[in-house]
């Protein structure tokens, strides 16, 4: 059993990469749940915009929490950087998929991603590691 654990255990030591990994995993889980809601209920795609913001906010908070917990100090900084990179990646993916230009709303969402990641990092760095 120890061999299997050592073979498949991957530990990411970088606070940024571990937070991004956790944030994208939670984002994929949230997107999957939203797609199930679309499929199994009478929800329309036009109703999803609020829920996608909620999924991204939860993902950013969890990713910032993991970044702050791994950093052991300056959780707001590590969580905020994780949020900024997450927001930048989401913006780039959106621009490539939708072929749109940069607008003020995109800059505000990027700033909100930084703030949510920083809040998650603040909580993550203050969790006891006992």
Read off the pLDDT of each residue in 53-74 and give the average, rounded to a whole number: 92
According to the model, what pLDDT value does residue 130 have?
Answer: 53
Read off the pLDDT of each residue in 102-114 and give the average, rounded to a whole number: 91
Beta strands in the chain, from DSSP E residues, in sequence order: none
Distance spanning both ends of the chain, measured CA to CA: 25
pLDDT band at 45 (very low <50, low <70, confident <90, very high): confident
Q: Do 59 and 120 form a contact (C-beta atoms < 8 A)?
A: no
Residue among 75, 31, 35 at smallest CA distance from 54:
31
Euclidean distance between CA atoms 18 and 112, whole angstroms = 20
- Tell me the pTM: 0.85
According to the model, what pLDDT value does residue 80 have?
Answer: 94
């Amino acid at each position: 059993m120890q061999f299997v654990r050592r073979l498949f255990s991957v530990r990411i030591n970088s606070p940024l990469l571990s937070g991004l990994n956790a944030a994208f995993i939670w984002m994929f889980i949230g997107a999957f749940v939203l797609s199930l809601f679309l499929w199994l209920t009478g929800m329309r795609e036009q109703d999803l915009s609020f829920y996608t913001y909620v999924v991204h906010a939860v993902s950013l908070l969890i990713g910032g929490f993991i970044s702050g917990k791994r950093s052991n100090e300056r959780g707001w900084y590590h969580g905020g950087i994780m949020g900024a990179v997450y927001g930048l990646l989401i913006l780039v993916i959106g621009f490539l998929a939708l072929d749109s230009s940069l607008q003020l709303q995109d800059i505000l969402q990027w700033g909100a991603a930084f703030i949510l990641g920083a809040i998650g990092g603040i909580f993550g760095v203050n969790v006891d590691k006992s």
